[in-house]
Amino acid sequence: MWLPSFAAALAAVAAVPGEMTEMVVELRVNGAAAGPAVVERDSAGAFYVPAAPLEALQVGTERLEAADRDGRRWIRLAPGGAVRTDYDPAAQRLDLVLPPSAFRATRLTALAPAIPPMTPARPGFSFNYDLEATAGNGAAPAATGAFDLGLFAGPLLAQGNAIARVAGTGARLVRLDTHLTWDVPDDMLSLRVGDTITRGGVGGGPLRIGGLQVTRRFDVQPGFVTGPVPTLSGSAVLPSVADLYVNGAHAATHELRPGAFTLTGFPVVMGAGTVEMVVRDALGRETLIREAYYAAPGLLRAGLADFSYEIGFLRHDYAVRNAAYGPLVASATHRLGLTDRITVEGHAAASAETQQGGVAAAFAYPGVGLVSVSAAASRSGASGSGERLGIAFEHRSRGFSFGGSASLASEGYRQVGDPRALPALDLRLSASLSERWGALGLSYLRRDYRDGRPGADVAGANASFRLGRRATLRFAAQTALSGPGDTAALLSLSIRLDRRTSAGAAAGLEGGNGFASLSLQQNAPADQGWGYRALAVLGPRPTGAAALQLNTSFGQYDAELTYRDGRTGARLRASGGIGMAGGEAFAAQRLSDAFAVVDAGQPGVRVYADNHPVGRTGRDGRAVVPRLRSYEANRIRLEVADLPIDAEVISAEAEVRPYARSGVVVDMRAPRTRSAVVRLEVPGLGPVPTGATVTVAGRSFVAAPGGELFLSGLADTNRLEAVWPEGRCRFDIAWAAGPDPQPDLGTRTCRE
């Protein structure tokens, strides 16, 4: 192995003649400027070019003939070699033309925008409530409530919820879930202890358990690409510009250096599609690179793993009993992208009574669709062993999609936690067409059981048509092709009257009877304001309803009157939240996700979240911003015009990235500053020259014409210095509080 290397080095040394001509040239490589460089030329016409400027342009100099002289690395370019040299003595320019293989490959990745670090959550809590009281309609008065409590600190969230009912038969409170969650966004992991739901998988559904769960969570890193994306490859001889198109729509533009290149990591539309790259070089020549793809939510890119592991006690009678836990169960689901076109999955679940396991694989065919196959087996003490097989196909493309799935289960197949047999046959088919004018859809479901339970054989159709810019006509129908079922159909028209108001009319058939309805609705603003809705239904059971809705900064309230079967009824509903972050409690709308407490330091300041108004600060100068998107960057902004004129605004915007169901405190207080207007004169000179710099307490101000100055950050007494090219002077001023936030201190004398 050492002989070729030694021979090449010996030849390179021997090729360096004694007489060399040194020159300074403008170096260009395949049309790209490499800057001025000192090169040498021997009597045989070979150029010696420093390696550094070539490597800066991604030239693979290790593939070229090299010579080390005076401690520097030179590249020898002999006449007639693989590198063409064009030397222009008049312009002192040396143009090098290298083949694309001489450059290092350029890899471009369209990464998601950088997201900020997580915003620490100070210890606090959020408490949500939904209260409802009903009376009339032939039923006894009753009251129900749903409650949710969350305690948070940093990445930890402890949460519990319950429902309550008070009626003539008494009062009852039922606990639902209680758990502690720890999310790790950097590793995309989540750990939960307490009540949870297993993920489920091949041959088995989700289970409610009380125990431990460790799962992968991709959603804690917004923009993380989980599915495979196409990779476009090519090469360019000259500097070029590449335009990327996804399904004919322009997606991005990239500048390319000479040499080989690959582009990957760009977003694509779900389903079958085509990506194209048009490469234009400096001479205007175009090259088209095209590749078909198929993207589906269930696919993982090569090497990426998704998993969920759980162990705990199976829960019974959820929402009926507080703590009815049964046998110990374990569940594991693991998915892996074997390649960009093949994703495999394994799932297993076991209890003392039943054990089940299955495998599945999804195969993507670019431009065609996705085929999935699965197989599962189970063993149960009650039914013995059983098997389940499944196959599915889907095709999605712009405007048209269709697909179907079928599964067969033997009589003995059982899932953990469910003693009932699965359908012997479960068949589903669907197709849809979407265009600018609307959409059409067809569906079919067939389900057969062996244990005497009624099956299903149902066909359905739906359609929607856009009527101008404000109206939509919709149709939906469903009919049973066998058995005692019947036909149901609905034709509806909805008209958007303005941004919040809409009207509707509908006619339909259900249970062999026809009906018609009219409605009018105005949605209440998300932050504060009124809304209403009215409904009238004509048919076998005439119905009427009217409701008012009020949204405030501290809750949402509904009042509704109904008429049905000759009886009237009433319903009152109130929902909201109570929270604490930063040591102070507050009332707000439901805190269903993350929230922020914004401290502007002044009352009556409008607050925006992602440019949507969310309210004004109260008397304490604070405002609560609910409905923040957890783990995503949320931009919060103050309306600067609402701040006092003497407020010194350092920043009116902030970006936060909160944990789920956690609260963050955003300090955007603008301190009040003492400011004043003063005119400055110098004895014998008149007004201080325009542009003179006046300094006070380390802050500088510039004099306007007439020696007028606007000063801020003043103390009770202040020593100021004015400087201009011809001189300098000093003066003292005192600031006195008054009704004017920017008092006029008159004319002052500045002495040298």
How big is the chain by its Cα radius of gyration, in Å?
37
Judge whether residue 17 has pLDDT over 60.
no
Please give the pLDDT value at position 14.
Answer: 40
Residue with tokens 């710099």: 693
CB-based contacts of 652: which residues, under 8 Å, 6+ apart? Answer: 637, 638, 639, 640, 668, 670
Residue with tokens 């289960």: 409
Q: What is the mean pLDDT of residues 572-599?
A: 90
Q: What is the mean pLDDT of residues 369-377?
A: 95
Please give the pLDDT value at position 112.
Answer: 56
DSSP letter at 204?
B
Q: What is the mean pLDDT of residues 77-97?
A: 78
- Beta strands (DSSP E) in 399-470 are 400-409, 425-435, 438-448, 456-467
Judge whether residue 402 has pLDDT over 70.
yes
Judge whether residue 12 has pLDDT over 60.
no
CATH 2.60.40.2070 range(s) for the chain read 676-749
Residue 327: count of CB within 10 angstroms of its CB: 13
CATH 2.60.40.3110 range(s) for the chain read 232-295
Confidence of residue 168 (pLDDT cuts 50, 70, 90): confident
Judge whether residue 732 has pLDDT over 70.
yes
- Beta strands (DSSP E) in 282-324 are 286-295, 305-315
**% residues pLDDT > 90 (the chain):** 43
| 554 or 72, higher pLDDT | 554
Which run of H or of E encompasses 662?
none
Question: Shortest CA distance to 67 belongs to which of 51, 83, 45, 87?
Answer: 51
Question: Shortest CA distance to 655 belongs to which of 617, 592, 598, 585?
Answer: 598
Judge whether residue 311 has pLDDT over 90.
yes
Is 232-295 a CATH 3.30.460.80 domain?
Answer: no
Q: For residue 351, what are its two tokens?
A: 């209890």
Confidence of residue 546 (pLDDT cuts 50, 70, 90): very high
Please give the pLDDT value at position 183.
Answer: 94
Please give the pLDDT value at position 113.
Answer: 62
Rounded to two decimals, what is the model's pTM?
A: 0.77
Confidence of residue 273 (pLDDT cuts 50, 70, 90): confident
Please give the pLDDT value at position 280.
Answer: 87
pLDDT digits (tens, 9 = 90+) for 436-445: 899 999 999 9
Q: 102-132 burial by CB neighbour count: b if 16+ within 10 A, else e?
A: bbbebebeeeeeebeebbebbebbbbbbbbb
Please give the pLDDT value at position 4.
Answer: 39
Confidence of residue 673 (pLDDT cuts 50, 70, 90): confident
pLDDT digits (tens, 9 = 90+) for 316-339: 999 999 989 999 999 999 999 999
Judge whether residue 2 has pLDDT over 50.
no
Q: For residue 435, what are its two tokens?
A: 């265009």
Q: List the single range of 505-519, 629-643, 678-692, 727-741 with lowest mean pLDDT.
A: 727-741
Q: Which of 316-320, 460-464, 619-623 has the highest mean pLDDT?
A: 460-464
Please give the pLDDT value at position 11.
Answer: 39
Which run of H or of E encompasses 257?
none
3-state secondary structure 537-606: EECCCCEEEEEEEEEECCEEEEEEEEEECCEEEEEEEEEEEEEEECCEEEEECCCCCEEEEEECCCCCCE
Q: What is the mean pLDDT of residues 451-455?
A: 81
Residue 26: count of CB within 10 angstroms of its CB: 15
Judge whether residue 521 has pLDDT over 90.
yes
What number does CATH give the domain 676-749?
Answer: 2.60.40.2070
Q: List the single range of 119-123, 147-151, 152-156, 191-195 with lowest mean pLDDT.
A: 119-123
pLDDT digits (tens, 9 = 90+) for 46-81: 888 887 777 777 777 777 777 776 667 787 777 777
Q: Which of 11-15, 266-270, 472-476 has the highest mean pLDDT?
A: 472-476
pLDDT digits (tens, 9 = 90+) for 198-215: 998 998 999 999 999 999
CATH superfamily ID and name for 2-104: PapC, N-terminal domain (3.10.20.410)
Which residues sit opposite 528 in a β-bridge? Answer: none
Q: What is the mean pLDDT of residues 405-412?
A: 94
Q: 336-370 burial by CB neighbour count: b if 16+ within 10 A, else e?
A: bbeebbbbebbbbbbbebbbbbbbbebebebeebb
CATH 3.10.20.410 range(s) for the chain read 2-104
Judge whether residue 580 has pLDDT over 70.
yes
Mean of the per-residue pLDDT values of the chain: 86
Judge whether residue 630 has pLDDT over 70.
yes
